[in-house]
Amino acid sequence: MTTKLMGQGVQRVEDQRFLRGQGRYVDDVAVDPATLHAAVLRSPHAHARIVDIDVDAVLDLEGVHAVWTHEDLTGPMAEPLPLLIPHPALTHGRTQYALARDEVNYAGEAVAFVVADDRYLAEDALDRIRVTYDVLAPVVGIDAARAADRLVHDDVPGNVGARMEQGTGDAQAAIAKAPHRLELDLTVERSACTPLEGRGTVARWDPDSNRMQVWTSTQSSTGVRAVVAVKLGLDLGQVDVITPDVGGGFGVKINHPWPEELLVPLAARTLGRTVKFTEDRREHFVSSAHERGQVQHIEVGFDDDGRLLGLDVEFWHDHGAYTPYGLIVPIITSTQLLGPYKPEVYRVVFESLYTNTVMVTPYRGAGRPQGCFAMERTMDAIAAYLGKDRAEVRATNFIQPDEFPYDQGLIFQDGRELEYDSGDYPASLEKIKALVGWDDFPAFQKEMAAVGRKVGIGLACYVEGTGVGPYEGAHVHIETTGKVKVATGLTTQGQGHATVFAQLVADELGVRFEDVEVVTGDTRRMPYAVGTFASRAAVMSGSAIHLAARRAKEKVLKIAADALEAAEEDLQIVDGVVSVKGSPGTALDLGTVSVLSNPLRYAFDEASKAATQFSVGDPGKPPVPEDEEPGLEGRDFYSPERATFASGMHAVIVETDPDTAEITILKYAVVHDCGRLINPMIVEGQIHGGVAQGVAGALYERMAYDENGQLQNASFMDFLMPYVTEVPDGIDIDHLETPSPLNPLGIKGAGEAGVIPSAAVFAAAIEDAERIPITAMPISPSELFHLRQEHTP
């Protein structure tokens, strides 16, 4: 009996190349003196009209092959980049041009594109381009956007890109009737994904086959392929997009196309050379995407137990200068704000606003952290008001285990009903309380206070809709060597997909893990795909791969049954060998089954002789039976009716220094439920990473824009990414598994879990330590210091 790999912490196959420095990231592709390199001239102004672009001084440089501005773009390339996710509420969506046409709307916007023999020369050329701007006063910050003294886009009144409302009834009336009422005003500041590897694209145009090959550091290979084809006037079939190894994405690489993702292929075709663009760190800060910035106003009505009778949330979302990703982030905030709770009546309305800053597209959590912050601060406020335990108030509002599936009465980010399929929130709460020592904490707090130390504890709960559609697909091919080649179209940025998916195939097919090879994000291998985001890979591709492997297995058994003259139900596949159960002598290895699956005229090696026309087959029947195909392949797709809902709870104990206001983490506990785990080691790694980003977002990271729309901390020196010293020394993790009823393996997503409740949990803990209301995140020691001063009588 082989041990199933599902649920095992199998060591990763990817590590073998990464540890040897043999990963192939986009800048490692086409390392060749003949490759040309691109650089982009970016606007130094947040808002300006372009008057003139003078490239005369570039002529004196050697090694410059092209300098393009918007005028050099024709046809679809001259039009704005696509608005990826339209929505009826997005009445005033705007996207940028591949190169700015007459106006720039954020500092960092692409104005000119240079191609040269190497990056150094390309940057020399950038320095010599003289752009004359007519500088305009920018709109920076949500307050300025709302005031609308100035507009970002002349044809967008009030800087409002969208206004959207959803609800289950008259929340205001419910609040008015409620025994108790509270109002909260909260702020979450902007942050960003900042993966260690920035963006990059390499393209080759092959004139012999009339094909465009693009390597790009993306989260959606099929998305980039479609838009490159359209913009360059190519057939989809002429474009291949290969996702190389990607050094982190966290959401920022789901947006596409970046201007460079179009300009590089265009340059490759125009110049007849391989062209490469990789951004530097500063470019990533000022020309990729940010997220998180919101201002929120909450009104809530509740009873003596803290039950939510009416919840009315209004928020303002800063989406930067353009809206290529539509309204996904604020829609997620609106819907996931509800968390594990069931308010009697809920209404949410938001305005998504333009500012002259870098655009906003999803960052791990994608709007959930903001929603969780709003709800959890509200829960804490209710508990404080009623003098009740914060865990108890939450428990009172939980959807109960027997209430699933629970329809929240809203439309989710996938356009489908927000219906929670499964979960057990009371059980999670018991676990987190035990893990962090919730009930013992008040005594601990008193003990510490007695020796002059301030400690506080926070708790936050979240729900995460994972595995959104429309679908993912998989292809499984068993070759005549017995090796299994698997492809799925979504992409990988460190989640260990090649390992996790190989585990699934090994289990379903009965082959050795080592004999399975998985490829992701290559449109040549699987051209139907959506992408990696919303913690969907395990659910979507995992399910598709499982189903495809099952189809392949069905074919194996059919062919083997025929060859072994046995019944299919009597067969088993173990370590790549098909045998009759209990009769180990009668066996056929998968490679042979593969040979038999493809009737041949021409043998190509010893093994294949067995499949040639004089060796096998019934002369009275067609060699390939009707409704069958040659070869040993399985292909299938998984397309669920709705997302599946993971959940979790975090708790943190912090200490604040009475003098310096430094914030130290004493304990960090996580209980999470992502259904059944394929590889627990990898899931824990995801939680660790998410918690680190959460800690950073709560205490350290913000985008510091000045009133001129200049990003003042566009480097790792000033944007405070955490080192090991900033994360807790050890995270206590406990699991709960409520399998998803929506997919065959019962999986839910885990990728974003670690980061969702962080702002909430830290605000709660600091407030508990300080007894000062914390309404804005992130909070640094100096901010805490000033808050203390403000609240000293």
Q: Is residue 20 part of the contact set for other proteins (CB under 8 A)?
A: yes
Out of 97, 106, 215, 250, the only residue in the binding site for other proteins (CB under 8 A) is 250
| CB nearer other proteins, residue 36 or residue 526 | 36
According to DSSP, the β-strands at 294-302 and 308-318 are antiparallel
Q: Is residue 246 part of the contact set for other proteins (CB under 8 A)?
A: yes
Out of 22, 210, 639, 660, the only residue in the binding site for other proteins (CB under 8 A) is 22
Q: What is the largest CA-CA distance in the chain?
A: 98
Q: Of residues 481-540, which lie at the interface with other proteins (CB under 8 A)? A: 493-496
Q: Of residues 276-295, which lie at the interface with other proteins (CB under 8 A)? A: 280-281
The region of 48-56, 76-84, 625-633, 759-767 touching other proteins under the rule CB under 8 A is: 48-56
Neighbours of 41 (CB within 10 A): 25
The region of 24-32, 365-373, 416-424, 781-789 touching other proteins under the rule CB under 8 A is: 24-32
Please list, residue by residue across 254-266, b when 16 or more beta carbons sit within 10 angstroms of its beta carbon and e when fewer do: bbbbbbbbbbbbb
Cβ atoms of 509 and 556 closer than 8 Å: yes
Cβ atoms of 474 and 484 closer than 8 Å: no
Cβ atoms of 261 and 277 closer than 8 Å: no
Using the Cα atoms of residue 728, residue 732, residue 738 and residue 744 in order, give the sign of their dihedral. positive
Q: Is residue 6 part of the contact set for other proteins (CB under 8 A)?
A: no
Class of residue 788 by CB neighbours under 10 A (exposed 0-12, middle 13-18, buried 19+): middle
Inter-CA distances, 471 with 9, 336, 465, 640, Å: 27, 21, 15, 7
Q: Is residue 64 part of the contact set for other proteins (CB under 8 A)?
A: yes
Q: Across the strands, what pairs with 367?
A: none
Least gap, CB of 680 to other proteins (angstroms): 10
Residue span 403-422 as binding mask against other proteins, x where in contact by CB under 8 A, dash where not: --------------------
Cβ atoms of 478 and 588 closer than 8 Å: no
| CB nearer other proteins, residue 280 or residue 554 | 280
Out of 688, 700, 732, 773, the only residue in the binding site for other proteins (CB under 8 A) is 688
Out of 691, 742, 745, 759, the only residue in the binding site for other proteins (CB under 8 A) is 691
Class of residue 699 by CB neighbours under 10 A (exposed 0-12, middle 13-18, buried 19+): buried
| CB nearer other proteins, residue 656 or residue 693 | 693
Q: Of residues 173-212, which lie at the interface with other proteins (CB under 8 A)? A: 193-197
| CB nearer other proteins, residue 696 or residue 745 | 696
- Where does residue 320 fall: left (phi above 0), alpha (psi -120 to 50 degrees), or beta otherwise? left
Residue 512, classed as helix, strand or coil, is coil
Identify the helix (H) or strand (E) that includes residue 685. Answer: helix 680-699
Least gap, CB of 306 to other proteins (angstroms): 33
| CB nearer other proteins, residue 287 or residue 493 | 493
Q: Of residues 339-398, which lie at the interface with other proteins (CB under 8 A)? A: none
Nearest to 145 by CA among 320, 319, 355: 355
The region of 26-34, 78-86, 401-409, 624-632 touching other proteins under the rule CB under 8 A is: 26-34
- Return all residues near 355 (Cβ < 8 A) that are at least 6 apart: 138, 139, 140, 141, 142, 144, 145, 152, 159, 318, 319, 320, 321, 709
The region of 13-21, 297-305, 556-564, 577-585 touching other proteins under the rule CB under 8 A is: 13-21
Least gap, CB of 266 to other proteins (angstroms): 9
Identify the helix (H) or strand (E) that includes residue 378. Answer: helix 368-386
Q: Of residues 708-767, which lie at the interface with other proteins (CB under 8 A)? A: 715-717, 721, 723-725, 727, 729-731, 754
Q: Of residues 448-487, which lie at the interface with other proteins (CB under 8 A)? A: none
Q: Where are the beta strands (DSSP E) in 200-353?
A: 200-206, 211-216, 239-242, 275-278, 294-302, 308-318, 346-353
Q: Is residue 247 part of the contact set for other proteins (CB under 8 A)?
A: yes
Q: Where are the beta strands (DSSP E) in 441-515?
A: 454-466, 472-478, 484-488
Least gap, CB of 787 to other proteins (angstroms): 28
| CB nearer other proteins, residue 637 or residue 700 | 700
The region of 17-25, 207-215, 341-349, 524-532 touching other proteins under the rule CB under 8 A is: 17-25
- What's the DSSP call for residue 95? -
| CB nearer other proteins, residue 61 or residue 151 | 61
Q: Across the strands, what pairs with 583?
A: 580
| CB nearer other proteins, residue 72 or residue 570 | 72
Cα(412)–Cα(417) distance, rounded to whole angstroms?
A: 6
Out of 473, 531, 689, 749, the only residue in the binding site for other proteins (CB under 8 A) is 689
Least gap, CB of 244 to other proteins (angstroms): 11
In this structure, the dihedral spanned by the alpha carbons of residues 484, 488, 489 and 491, taken in order and rounded to 10 degrees, is -100
Inter-CA distances, 709 with 92, 108, 334, Å: 22, 10, 28
Q: Phi and psi of 739, rounded to 5°? A: -60, 145
Least gap, CB of 130 to other proteins (angstroms): 11
| CB nearer other proteins, residue 283 or residue 318 | 283
Q: Is residue 248 part of the contact set for other proteins (CB under 8 A)?
A: yes
| CB nearer other proteins, residue 600 or residue 727 | 727
Out of 71, 102, 575, 629, the only residue in the binding site for other proteins (CB under 8 A) is 71
Cα(258)–Cα(255) distance, rounded to whole angstroms?
A: 7
The region of 57-65, 205-213, 291-299, 457-465 touching other proteins under the rule CB under 8 A is: 57-65
Task: Give every strand in the sheet of 103-104, ordered side by side.
Answer: 103-104, 48-54, 130-135
Cβ atoms of 543 and 744 closer than 8 Å: yes
Out of 7, 9, 409, 631, the only residue in the binding site for other proteins (CB under 8 A) is 9
Neighbours of 109 (CB within 10 A): 28
Q: Is residue 65 part of the contact set for other proteins (CB under 8 A)?
A: yes
Cα(288)–Cα(363) distance, rounded to whole angstroms?
A: 11
| CB nearer other proteins, residue 55 or residue 359 | 55
Pure H helices in 460-618: 497-509, 537-564, 590-597
Least gap, CB of 52 to other proteins (angstroms): 9
| CB nearer other proteins, residue 663 or residue 692 | 692
With tokens 């800048």, the residue in question is 27
Least gap, CB of 365 to other proteins (angstroms): 14
Least gap, CB of 15 to other proteins (angstroms): 5
Out of 4, 15, 447, 782, the only residue in the binding site for other proteins (CB under 8 A) is 15
Q: Of residues 657-686, which lie at the interface with other proteins (CB under 8 A)? A: 681-682, 684-685
Q: Is residue 245 part of the contact set for other proteins (CB under 8 A)?
A: yes
Least gap, CB of 296 to other proteins (angstroms): 27
Q: Of residues 100-159, which lie at the interface with other proteins (CB under 8 A)? A: 116-120
Out of 18, 404, 528, 637, the only residue in the binding site for other proteins (CB under 8 A) is 18
Least gap, CB of 674 to other proteins (angstroms): 17
| CB nearer other proteins, residue 54 or residue 102 | 54
Q: Is residue 74 part of the contact set for other proteins (CB under 8 A)?
A: no
| Amino acid symbol at 48 | A
Least gap, CB of 730 to other proteins (angstroms): 7
| CB nearer other proteins, residue 274 or residue 334 | 274
| CB nearer other proteins, residue 58 or residue 548 | 58
Out of 72, 170, 389, 655, the only residue in the binding site for other proteins (CB under 8 A) is 72
